[in-house]
Amino acid sequence: MITLVIAEDHQALIDGIRSFLEYEEDITVLGEANDGEILIDLVRKKQPQIVLTDIRMPKCDGICATKTIKKEFPNTKIIAFSMFDQAEAIHQMKDAGASGYIMKNSSLKKVLEAIRIVAKNGDYFDDSITTTDVTSKEEIVLSTREKEILRLIGEGKTSQEIADILFIGKSTVDTHRKNILKKMNIQGKTDLIRFAVERKYDF
Amino acid sequence: MITLVIAEDHQALIDGIRSFLEYEEDITVLGEANDGEILIDLVRKKQPQIVLTDIRMPKCDGICATKTIKKEFPNTKIIAFSMFDQAEAIHQMKDAGASGYIMKNSSLKKVLEAIRIVAKNGDYFDDSITTTDVTSKEEIVLSTREKEILRLIGEGKTSQEIADILFIGKSTVDTHRKNILKKMNIQGKTDLIRFAVERKYDF
DNA sequence: CTTAAAATCCCTATTTGTAGGGATTTTTTT
DNA sequence: AAAAAAATCCCTACAAATAGGGATTTTAAG
């Protein structure tokens, strides 16, 4: 018997997956969560074999939840279920310890397939993900400070505002901006903002 | 018997809804589509009573599809199924002729409820939508040109680039930008870009 | 302890966008 | 045909971000 918990922002999708899995005798859904924090609690209580989780979620996203769960329960397998096939998200989920990555535009049959494979200690990464290792070029590693600043940029703050919030000089914020641009190789002349906003939205 | 077609970007969600609706004897799913164009074709062929459609879809989005369908088949009821409760999207769907609007984070039970109500010529708009008429403040109406420019802003183009693309002066683009800012009552480049990007993403 | 990485700060110059004003032409609506 | 709305263009001034350079201090990692 395979035990499973589902974490998803959209209740409709959870309901759908549950309906679908009801036909499968060998799979039991132990519970569901609508955000990362609830998911972590749920895993502690129910200790499922497999967690199927969205990446973009309130409170603590899929990546953050995966890290916590893997630290506490290394044997719990995690499958990411995402809208986007962004190299960075996939990479981060892999790093966090996920055993699978499925796109929401694939069928539930594939989800079922993935659950069964992962339950047998296998890995399942969506076919449509060509990006995986190839495009994951030079290991995009932003420092903690840089991520913090990127987040604030995404929230629409100006350099001056960010400087005030973090109690540092505007010059420092500008330097970080430049470094982020360099690391991300955003040739796009302008607009780190777009990058920050899209990032926030995509996972 | 209620006949239905489903249009959704994410196959997983379609599969889930189908599984869920299989238990309901009075509802038949006639078909499914992953984008707006296929949806329109499908409606022409199958002529369902009800269409359950995502807003954000490739090719032709939910709003555009709704308009076309309502023109050709005024009796076909349309229920929008969306991730976001943005006043503008709801407003546009209502204008296009939708009879319902449900959020993806509500349960499939609510979807079922909506289908039954709409089948009986009722309207169903999600409870969580407080926005509907209230926040839909001063009728955000962007002109065609303004929308076009907003789209290009969302794609990361600079005013000069937009000017070159549309064969107009940079001054004109700047004026449009200012007018958009004024209409939207937002201040700052950041916010404009965020608005453009979010809009692109959200429906 | 020493080194490398991260974080901090400053300078100059240029580009891009915002904010205010005004103005003309084309299209659409009445 | 007249009025309203949309689209076009230009001016000045200012704010914010990018791009190049250099420099110091903290904080980890070896």
Mean pLDDT rounded to a whole number for chain B = 85
Residue corresponding to tokens 């989800």:
A111
What pTM value is reported for the model?
0.77
The residue among B44 and B96 whose pLDDT is bigger is B44
Q: Does A105 touch chain B (CB under 8 A)?
A: yes
Q: Is the pLDDT of residue B33 over 60?
A: yes
What DSSP designation does A82 have? E
Q: What is the per-residue pLDDT across B181-190, written as a single tens digit (0 to 9) for each?
A: 888 766 666 6
- Using CA atoms, how far residue B111 sits from A50, A52, B125, in Å, is 28, 23, 11
Per residue in A86-120, pLDDT (tens digit) is 666 787 788 788 999 999 989 999 999 999 999 99
Say what the pLDDT of residue A132 is: 43
* A198 part of contact set with chain B, CB < 8 Å: yes
| For range B168-184, the mean pLDDT | 90
Most confident of A44-48, A88-92, B83-87, B197-201: A44-48
The one-character DSSP state at A71 is H
- Reported as a single tens digit per residue, the pLDDT across B123-148 is 998 876 654 443 343 455 778 888 88
Averaged pLDDT for residues B31-51: 95
**CA-based end-to-end distance of chain B:** 31
Cα–Cα distances (Å) from A121 to A62, A77, A108, B80, in that order, read 20, 8, 20, 40
Smallest CA–CA distance from B17 into chain A, residue: A16
**pLDDT tens sequence across B61-114:** 788 889 889 989 999 999 999 887 666 677 778 878 899 999 998 999 999 999
- Shortest distance, CA B133 to any CA of chain A (angstroms): 24
B187 in reach of chain A (CB within 8 A): no
Rg (CA), chain B: 19
A15, B109: Cβ pair inside 8 Å?
yes
Sheet harboring A124-125: ordered strands across? A27-33, A2-7, A50-54, A77-82, A100-103, A124-125
What pLDDT does residue B167 have? 93
Describe the strand order of the beta sheet including B27-33 as a list of residue ranges: B27-33, B2-7, B50-54, B77-82, B100-103, B124-125
Residue B61 DSSP one-character state: -
pLDDT digits (tens, 9 = 90+) for A127-157: 766 544 433 434 557 788 888 898 888 888 8
What tokens were used for B158? 């600079």
Q: In the A/B pair of chains, how many CB contacts fall below 8 A?
A: 111
Region for A167 from its dihedrals, namely left if φ exceeds 0, alpha if ψ lies in -120 to 50, beta otherwise:
left
